[in-house]
Amino acid sequence: MRKRGTLKIKLESDLCIGSGYSFAGVIDSDVCYDKFGLPFIPARRIKGDLREAAETTLHSIFNKVDIEKMFGTRGNSGVKGITIENAYPENYEEIKEELENAKKSEILNTNLSVENLLGCYTNVKSQTKIEENGVAKDLSLRYTRVVNKYSPINNKPLVFEANVFFDDNAIKEEDIKILAKALRNIGLKRNRGLGKVSCSFEEDKKSASIKSDELYKIEYTIKNIEPLMMSNRTNNKTENYISGQSVLGLLANNYIYKNGKASAESEEFKDLFLRGKAIYTDLTLCKNEKKYYPAPLFINQLKKTKKLVNIEAKPQKDDGKDYVADNGNQPKKLKGKFIADFGNNTFDIAQVEKDIVYHHSHRNKSESGKKGILYALEVISENQKFSGSIILPGKYIKTIEDLLNYEIRFGKSKSAQYGRCILEKIESSKFNKKVFKASKGNTIAVSFISDGIFINNGNYTNYYEEVADIIAKQLGIKIDQISDDYYSLLQTKIIYGYQSMWNLRKAPIAGIEAGSTFVFKLAEDAVINKEFVGERNLEGYGNIKIITLDNMPYKLLLVENKTDKKNPIEFNLIKPIINKVIINSICEKLKKSTLKKFDKVDITASTLGRVTLMLKESIDTTDKIEAFSNFVGRINSIKREKEKQKIKKNILDKISENDKLSYEKIKNLADDASDEIVYLEKNYKKNANNMILELWSEVLMSIFVMQKYSLKG
């Protein structure tokens, strides 16, 4: 039985997981971090350190055979022993999602750069070699970027989490727990105070209960890092999704070619790809971890006002003028678009991004003798996410996970330029059939979220009466006469396919297009637990979504309509990070503008040194704003009246009023930081004043530093 758990790595000191990169003259050893600037620990580093702990610290517990069973041996084919993923800060997915949302704001997008975010998690340490005489050796100064021990989010020791997979038939959970406890140091310079950690392993209880014959659902997300050209009825246009048929073909191919000993005649292969014991749904658009599905034909968008409506219902007087279908404001189908259901009759609309790519072929010559032809292809743009699921017996979960982690290429021209994808996310859980209940007299809508295929009397059919009768029988419902208030919406299509083994197209068949909706009025109470109807469900055909139409209004809401743009954006996890980067940005811009506006003060070097020391001693107090009064008191203690007045008039009076900090004066100094200050005032209101006021010491210190280097002599 394949189990999954989480390895938690808590920092007990700063950490440097070297990436191998350096920046000449700035950073000699850099850490590993992702595209956002969030640090992580590579899985190979973790596995290597765990193996080292097993071979050294735990040599009396584990022998060579045990170690090879857990970590494998060089040259092994396939995945054996413990499988470990990269370790990211806890709540990593939630942090990423909030960062994506934050970057939609222009001001936050500018300030939440990779460098600024990385600066919240890391610092730079310097190190030099000392000679026997106590003098630093020339050219020995080195700078190392390290991950801070404490998290910028909660000021507690930073915890990294890594998913761990293992086969409990070969490896005991207790052994992994022992390995985790033995891992005490990781990364560079662990004999110089860096890299001290404490580790623990927690088993995922969901994976512990996997039973071989029960059904489970694997939900996964991929991202196409190259354009996709998915087969369509024409040669130069692409579908806007990845069909379950394509997923099945990919995994079947991986099954045969990943392991040369695998056979298409095995029982496992037949169960997974031929007998229908596994179902592969279409991969459809996924945004912000939310899965979108083809828009049902009864959900339309008004042409002029762009409002979302349910054309199965009648408009109400209180729906508002924006929902009146007059003067050309007619409902239009969301053709080729996808929607996500957020509940409470609220939806979001999304569309797959596509590009036009041009190619030139030299193989086809025209009659005039010109070489080749120029042609264009419509393709799915790269870097989009698609999500789907696989329903299968528990005993095959490990097999499918391995196949998805092998190589993912979809569509045409996979050998060059097109088709390459990467696995972004994968989760498995016990499959619980959705149960839909409705009472006698209710009107239900059976909406297709994938294409459907139906056979009647041995022939493929897409006639409404025949298909509706098949759906009702397969769902086990008895239907009554439909009233004029509701009607079915049917869109037919010809379904194509391709058999790569023989390099031939499959015979086209009649089908029902995704988005089609069949409406039934129930003659009896119904309990429906089916999610698929029709034929070839193993390829994802016939996936349905059922809703009750009776209580669904004409007026539907779009997600953006729920957001009050006057109110600030709320963040649960990254709020402390946003505070820090915004304040740092204001501080840097404030210091720059301050140096331009403050003139040099004619005071002696000794007075300047004394005043600088006064400033440092004042800001050692806990409250930075109250520290200003302390600093003013120290300035008033200067006996040389002339120099004291120069400091007060030329420096203090420009940030204070009657020896009290002035928010307006400090704010007016930061011309370049006006956008950041507006953001603080809008999102933090009264607290914004204190955040700005606390920067007074940084402003004065920059003035004193400038003054020091401008003194004559």
How crowded is residue 510: how many other Cβ atoms within 10 Å of its Cβ? 16
Q: What percent of the chain has pLDDT over 70?
A: 90
Q: How far apart are the C-alpha atoms of 529 and 526, rounded to whole Å? A: 10
pTM to 2 decimals? Answer: 0.57
- Mapped onto helix, strand or coil, the DSSP state of residue 228 is strand
Q: What is the pLDDT of residue 712?
A: 54
Over the stretch 111-156, which tens digit does the pLDDT of each residue have?
888 889 999 999 988 888 888 888 888 888 888 889 999 999 998 9
- Mapped onto helix, strand or coil, the DSSP state of residue 699 is helix
**Model confidence at 713, in pLDDT bands (50, 70, 90)?**
very low
The residue among 13 and 602 whose pLDDT is bigger is 13
Q: To which H or E segment does residue 220 belong? A: strand 215-224
What mean pLDDT comes out for the span 91-107? 85
Residue 160 main-chain phi, psi, to 5 deg: -100, 145
Q: Which residues contact 261 (CB under 8 A, 6 or more apart)?
A: none
Q: How far apart are the C-alpha atoms of 356 and 374, rounded to whole Å? A: 13
Q: Choose the weakest-confidence range: 421-425, 634-638, 685-689.
A: 685-689
Over the stretch 222-262, which tens digit does the pLDDT of each residue have?
999 888 988 776 678 899 999 999 999 999 988 887 665 66
Q: What is the pLDDT of residue 211?
A: 56
Q: Map 652-678 to HEC letters.
A: HHHCEECCEECHHHHHHHCCCCHHHHH
Q: What is the pLDDT of residue 534?
A: 94
In one-letter notation, the amino acid at residue 66 is D
Q: Is the pLDDT of residue 520 over 90?
A: yes
Q: What is the pLDDT of residue 596?
A: 78
Q: Is the pLDDT of residue 645 over 70?
A: yes
Residue 241, token pair as written in the block: 């999704």
In one-letter notation, the amino acid at residue 425 is K
Q: What are the beta bridge partners of residue 409?
A: 420
Q: What is the pLDDT of residue 654?
A: 83
Q: What is the pLDDT of residue 567?
A: 43
Query: With contact defined as beta carbons under 8 Å apart, do 271 and 396 qualify?
Result: yes
What mean pLDDT comes out for the span 399-409? 87
| Residue linked to tokens 């009050």 | 564
**Model confidence at 208, in pLDDT bands (50, 70, 90)?**
very low
Ordered strands of the 555-558 beta sheet: 293-294, 338-341, 346-350, 555-558, 308-310, 299-302, 331-333
The residue among 440 and 165 whose pLDDT is bigger is 440
Q: What are the beta bridge partners of residue 520?
A: 444
How crowded is residue 226: how many other Cβ atoms within 10 Å of its Cβ? 21
